Amino acid sequence: MIPSRRCYALLAFGGLSAALLDILINRQVSLNFLRVYNFSLLVATIIDASQVKNSAVEVTRKEIGKLSVGRDNAIALQIKSGQEKAIAQIRDAYPPEFRVDRDTLEVNLPANSVTEETYIIHPDCRGEYTWGDLHVRQLGKLGLAWRDWRTPAQQQVKVYPDLIGLKELAVRLAIENSGAMRQARRMGNGTEFAELREYRTGEDIRLINWKATARRDRPVVKVLEPEQEQTLFILLDRGRLMTAKVSGLKRFDYGLNATLSLATAGLSRGDKVGVAVFDRDLTTWIPPERGNHHLSKLVERLTPIQPVLLEPDYLGAMTKVITQQTRRALVVVITDLVDVTASSELLSAMMRLTPRYLPFCVTLNDPLVAQIAHTPTETTKDTYCRAVALDLLAQRQVAFAQLRQKGVLVLDAPCDRITSELVDRYLELKVRNLL
């Protein structure tokens, strides 16, 4: 039982009334009044709290599905009132390390009604977490006391990579796919033969099939489409630099989201997709496959992986790719670099992939560094920080220039935009048939 504000207000009113009686009459009358008043208020409060049990609300948490890291996820609670109206407060025992929009849900329900309340949780770490019991507090009919109790609702919940983003991307790709393929066929932009059709004014005469034209006695062109069943292989670094947090998420989580999004795009375009995760050793190797079932395998295999404070062995990872992946492939390395000196191993490893493979180096930068570098300063400390940021950006550009000179594709984007920019770049490569 917990006294309400009304109970405390009535208690204060009784005290003031007793003080007034003491002034107007005498102290004995005041004390007798205070004893009777407080005892009556106590009895009424106890009765009010005990009667809540007869009309207690029923609270259940709906089954929590797969949560997405770095996203707002809705958690739903169903509240059912009894034969009397109910005023209640509900707190869910969510993992304390996660942020929520409101930690207490307040409801005012009519009698015999059911409602659903939701709160938003924002997990910033992947893994398996425990949701505890539901803590319920209901106000009595007289409004004098709250009765609180706990409803068992313990549940184990997994926090996955950005599944919400993957669903949005899958819908976008499905809409674009048919239109993109029709456009590619119409423009003859591809390498694989699709069909023959009559020549249309303005089309490239190099696409005319002269044998078919002679047979049909009218111009016939070849319709080409982008080559299918190419191979996309993604190398995801989980080394020291990937442990840093950027805007609340580890850099590795951004890289993992980008990996799964790129895999989704590759599978939607008919490519085989393989993924490897490495630090000092190659810890995970998933051979290239195609089909939607492969994406589910990638999600389940990659979700438990966490970054570690180890320097990555780029040469070892590239050697494994060269040994295992004999067919030409687009090899995407998702990592980060500091400068030319510290990333010399990455540079030499990427250059080993050319010209047999099409190497693609993707780096995740911290937008805060660019913000510091381009913000005017007034103090000596801020000026020093800006100079360091400018130097870091300049050295990154030198490293990227060296990679480009050796035929390595480069994408450097802020962590929070890396996924969309990487997918767009991949789709551009497919349209241009660079692989």
- Residue among 185, 181, 161 nearest 173 (CA): 181
Same domain? For 171 and 299 the reply is no
pLDDT at 340: 73
Read off the CATH number of the domain in which 84 is found.
2.60.40.10
CA distances from 271 to 48, 101, 233, 419, 426 (A): 68, 41, 10, 18, 12
| Residue 188 pLDDT grade (very low, low, confident, very high; cuts 50, 70, 90) | very low
Same domain? For 275 and 385 the reply is yes
Domain closes at, from 136, 159, 182: 159
Domain closes at, from 121, 144, 159: 159
> What is the rounded CA–CA span in Å between residue 282 and residue 285?
7
Same domain? For 284 and 400 the reply is yes
- pLDDT > 60? residue 182: no
CA distances from 246 to 127, 369, 372, 416 (A): 19, 11, 14, 9
| Residue 227 pLDDT grade (very low, low, confident, very high; cuts 50, 70, 90) | low
pLDDT at 181: 46
pLDDT at 430: 86
Same domain? For 334 and 367 the reply is yes
pLDDT tens by residue, 378-426: 899 999 999 998 988 898 888 888 888 888 999 999 999 999 999 999 9
DSSP-based helix, strand, coil % in the chain, nearest 5: 45, 30, 30
- Residue among 326, 320, 319, 325 nearest 348 (CA): 319
Is the CB of residue 49 less than 8 Å from the CB of residue 147? yes
Three-class SS state of 147: strand
Same domain? For 32 and 73 the reply is no
Same domain? For 281 and 329 the reply is yes
pLDDT at 79: 95
Same domain? For 62 and 198 the reply is no
| Residue 105 pLDDT grade (very low, low, confident, very high; cuts 50, 70, 90) | very high
Helix orientation angle between 5-24 and 27-51, rounded to the nearest 10 degrees:
170
> What is the rounded CA–CA span in Å between residue 129 and residue 378?
46
Same domain? For 194 and 279 the reply is no
- pLDDT > 50? residue 57: yes
- pLDDT > 50? residue 184: no
Q: What mean pLDDT, rounded, does the chain reach? A: 88
Same domain? For 112 and 141 the reply is yes
pLDDT at 176: 79
pLDDT tens by residue, 317-350: 999 999 998 888 999 999 998 777 767 888 889 8
Give the residue numbers spanning the domain of 419.
231-432
| Residue 186 pLDDT grade (very low, low, confident, very high; cuts 50, 70, 90) | very low
Same domain? For 81 and 102 the reply is yes
Q: Please give the average per-residue pLDDT across 5-11, as a whole number.
A: 92
Domain closes at, from 159, 179, 199: 159
Same domain? For 251 and 377 the reply is yes
Percent of the chain clearing pLDDT 70 (strictly above): 93
Count the helices and strands in the chain (H runs, E runs): 11, 22
Helices marked H in 161-307 — which ranges?
A: 163-187, 210-216, 251-268, 292-302
pLDDT at 194: 57
- CB neighbourhood size of 134 (10 A): 21
| DSSP output for 284-295 | EEEEEE-SHHHH
CA distances from 96 to 99, 121, 161, 305 (A): 8, 11, 20, 22
Same domain? For 331 and 404 the reply is yes
- pLDDT > 60? residue 66: yes
Number of domains in the chain: 4
